[in-house]
Structure 1
Amino acid sequence: RGITCDLKSTEGRALFAGLATGARIVIESFAPGRFAELGLDEIVRDAIVVSITPYGQDGPLARVPGSDLEVTAASGSLWLAGEEGRPPLRTAQPQSPYWSGMYGALGALVALQSSVAQRVDVSAQAAMTTVHPPAPVWWDIAREEHGRTGPFLLGRSNVGSRFRNLWACADGFVSLAIQGGPIGRHPGRMLAEWMAERGAVPAVIAAIDWTIFDNSTLSQAQVDDLEAAIAPFLRSLTKAEFFDGVVKRKMLGYPVSDASDSLADPQLRARDFWRTLSPAEGLPPMPFPGGFALFDGERPAVRRPAPGVGEHNAEIYRECGVSSGELERLRAAGVV
């Protein structure tokens, strides 16, 4: 629910104290130090306080403001997103609020296990650094910088060859990795059989003995020949045809889903993932993502849309014992 409260005023802080009394968890996102400057630390001294800021409560960047773009860039994760040899790319939907919020929730749950009030300090920069955890570790150990790989995989070759993981198909893209060893034997054989069912098997594929195939030693020229033989086959399939085929053959592969694919996904629908809710009064119901997990077989309901600014002032302050007349006076004074 959403309320307004001027915490710079004495009456506003008194209202906040009434709301916070007895609260186990208080979440705030003021600039570092501002919470204490407003005199709120004492009010919530017995509560778990979760502070979520761009760079954390201390350090040289603590008081530097930052949007999702700055935080993602500072974390190093932006550097790794995009095509090789081209500028890095940010995702269309900001990610740092979700990652820092997730860590804030986790920190609060951990803090609940203590009998002593805890202060949970979440840095969005640190949260986003964990998006690609191997990169800083790789640099620390080997002094090698991970770069943007685009549609290619890392770690599949001992001689520096690159293997494609994203392929064009008839209506989008699919993910498929050519691998050797125990993990690649069955998918490799199934791919060759599948290609035979739909036409001739290219000679470079037919010549492979998948029981001894070792992708890690292939030269880049050999990899390119393999991929040139596979690419036309995948381009002939739709995402649905590809996925039906890999499931039927117990292969490793998945279509690259867009938003419409996710909404229609039969697995999500079978688990009743989507919730229907009107986003605002007067608007028709729309599908929204539901809770991330089932609890005793039930998915938590989305109880209401995101609140408007001050939408629930009357409702919440009434619960705190503020009369309608007093609330009107506070509104006129700019306190709420």
Structure 2
Amino acid sequence: MNTDAPLHDGPLAGLKVLELGQLIAGPFAGKTLADFGATVIKVEPPGSGDPLRQWRMLHEGESVWWQVQSRNKQSITLDLREPADRALARRLAAESDVLIENFRPGLMEEWGLGYDTLAADNPGLIMLRISGYGQTGPYRDLPGFAVVAEAMGGLRHLMGEPGRPPVRAGVSLGDTLAALHGVIGVLLALQARQRTGRGQVVDVALYESVFNCMESLLPEYSAFGAVREPAGSALPGIAPSNAYRCADGQVVIGGNGDSIFKRLMSAIGREDLGQDPGLAGNAGRAARADELDAAITAWTVQRPVDEVLRLLQAVRVPVGRIYTARDIAEDPHYRARGMIESITTARGLALEVPGVVPKLSDTPGRLRSLAPALGEHNAAVLDALNRPPAESGKT
């Protein structure tokens, strides 16, 4: 890593990342590192490229999602099924700080690109490996997508209404949670390398990343034999916290803090509940959650969303509308925080995309370049390997 890189290029300026993954988990990790200044070289198969280029809504044949997932990256094309291109990938890994892959466990070894082989060339290499079930264990060879990881991790069972089939969130949470855990692992491994000089493998499983976010699910089962069940929009054991009908829509209200609860009850004209000693703590409120939800709904259902927001925000009760994409695009706070950025793609499409998080005060991440065309950086990257561009992978 080049520690002389200017800080204004981001805190990870000088870090070289080789991204071999595709679709969501591996590339989301690469995107996050790239947003903060890392040089990310994305390897794509010739001809088709990363399948994400064709996912969901397309503009002139290319996914608009691609502009988010692959911004700030360089694209080269290598066919990793071919020995000559695998040799090129090995040479690139020898010059990299981090390698990201999210293939099935064992495939990198079959290609001669396992960690032991790559570390022999580059002992400081950090290899982020993201898979459904991890690199070890009885399930390692099973195919694992986010949908399966969310189910195995315990999340899917809790999503939906009691007594009805579970639903999914509508986005690939298993992939993005795994990617974020992967980024944490890479940063930890970089810190360790500062002391030891050695790289290591960061082994991230999709299901474990989901499970890590499941709060008290396992301890409650271990201590009490309690199996948490779906509860719709409520948060079992914490009250009042739910979605509530209004005259023209819905809001979510978090009135579960002791002092917040009293302010909420005063705002809805139920001082009797706010002053009830049995409701002073969460345990008492949780036992009477249905009663509290009914009292709040009786108040919200008579008022439009905007009025509910105004009255409860005035007394500092956490409340919010349930946002759609339109609400996000029109919200002034998103724009004030730089969470909506405007770009124009290479095809001339004016597009708004998510900004960079987290927010760093001195070395913030930023959008430095648009998502690349397939193989756009073949010549530049392969020249750096002292190899004639004409011998690069075909686009």
TM-score (normalised: structure 1): 0.82
Distance 2:255 2:360 in 1: 38
Give the match's secondary structure for 1:165: strand
State the 1:156 CA deviation: 4.3
Distance verdict in 2 for CA 1:298–1:25, change over 3 Å: closer
- How far 1:121 sits from its partner (Å)? 0.5
Other-structure match for 1:57? 135
Mapped to 2, the partners of 1:169 and 1:130 lie a distance apart of 35
User: 1:133 & 1:218 partners in 2: Cα distance?
Assistant: 20
Q: Which residue in 2 is equivalent to 1:110?
A: 188
Q: Is residue 104–residue 122 contact of structure 1 (8 Å, CA) maintained in 2?
A: yes
The aligned counterpart of 1:320 is 385
2:42 is aligned to none
Does residue 146 (structure 1) correspond to residue 228 (structure 2)? The answer is yes
Aligned to 2:359: 294
The equivalent of 2:163 in structure 1 is 85
CA distance in structure 2 between the aligned counterparts of 1:289 and 1:168, rounded to whole angstroms: 29
The corresponding residue for 1:249 is: 315
2:118 corresponds to: 43
Residue 34 of structure 1 deviates from its aligned partner by 1.7
Look up the equivalent residue of 1:43 and give its one-letter code.
L
Pick from 247, 254, 257: which aligns with 1:170? Answer: 247
Distance 1:185 1:28, change over 3 A: same
Would the aligned equivalents of 2:93 and 2:99 in 1 still touch at CA under 8 Å? yes
Distance 1:209 1:168, change over 3 A: closer
Which sits farther off after the overlay, 263-272 or 313-322? 313-322
Q: 1:178 Cα deviation (Å)?
A: 5.3
Shift in alpha-carbon separation, 1:101–1:224, aligned structure 2, 3 A: closer
Are positions 1:7 and 2:80 aligned together? yes
Partner of 1:266: 332
Shift of 1:276: 1.1
Cα 1:10/1:153, change in 2 over 3 Å:
closer
Moved more, 229-238 or 102-111: 229-238
Equivalents in 2 of 1:83, 1:245: separation in Å?
29
Q: Which residue of 2 aligns with 1:186?
A: 263
- CA-to-partner distance for each residue in 1:110-162, whole Å, 9 max, x for gaps? 011222211110001100112322112211221110000002232248xxxxx
After superposition, the Cα gap between the structure-2 partners of 1:180 and 1:214, relative to the gap in structure 1 and judged at 3 Å, is farther
Aligned residues, how many? 311
Cα distance change of structure 1 residues 146 and 99 upon mapping to structure 2, 3 Å threshold: same
Q: Does structure 2 conserve the Cα–Cα contact (< 8 Å) formed by 1:181 and 1:213?
A: no
Output the amino acid matched with 1:3. I
CA distance in 2, matches of 1:109, 1:6: 29
What is the match of residue 120 of structure 1?
202
Could you say if the C-alpha distance between residues 236 and 227 of structure 1 is closer, same or farther in structure 2, counting changes exceeding 3 Å?
same
Structure with bigger gyration radius: 1
77, 96, 119: which one aligns with 2:174: 96
State how far apart, in whole Å, the 2-side matches of 1:209 and 1:14 are: 70
- Stretches of structure 1 lacking an aligned partner (at least 5 in a row): 158-162, 193-204
Distance 1:63 1:306, change over 3 A: farther
Q: What amino acid does structure 2 have at the position aligned with 1:23?
A: S
Alpha-carbon shift at residue 223 of structure 1 (Å): 5.9
Deviations 1:252-277 (A, max 9, x none): 32222222222222222211221112
The alpha-carbon deviation at position 304 of structure 1 amounts to 3.3
C-alpha contact (below 8 Å) 1:179/1:214 kept by paired residues = no
Give the fraction of aligned pairs with identical amino acids, expressed as a percent. 26
Query: Which segment drifts farther, 68-77 or 305-314?
Result: 305-314
Unmatched 5+ residue regions in structure 2? Answer: 1-73
Give the conservation status (yes or no) of the 8 Å contact 1:190–1:251: no
Deviation (angstroms), 1:177:
4.6
Residue by residue, what CA displacement relative to the aligned partner does 1:143-200 show, whole Å, maximum 9, x if unpaired? 110000002232248xxxxx561111234321225558444222322332xxxxxxxx
CA deviation string 1:270-307 (max 9, x = no partner): 112211123x4224221111111222267422233444
- The 1-side partners of 2:257 and 2:104 are apart by 52
C-alpha separation in 2, matches of 1:40 and 1:81 = 39
How far is 1:226 from its partner? 5.2
* Rounded Cα–Cα distance in structure 2 between residues aligned with 1:89 and 1:9: 41
CA contact (8 A) 1:277 1:285 kept: yes
TM-superposed CA distance for 1:52, in Å, is 0.4
Structure 1 distance, partners of 2:327, 2:265, is 27
TM-superposed CA distance for 1:80, in Å, is 0.7
Closer, same or farther in 2 for the Cα pair 1:323/1:236, shift >3 Å?
farther
Aligned to 1:200: none
- 2:214 partner letter: H
Give the aligned partner of residue 18 of structure 1. Answer: 91
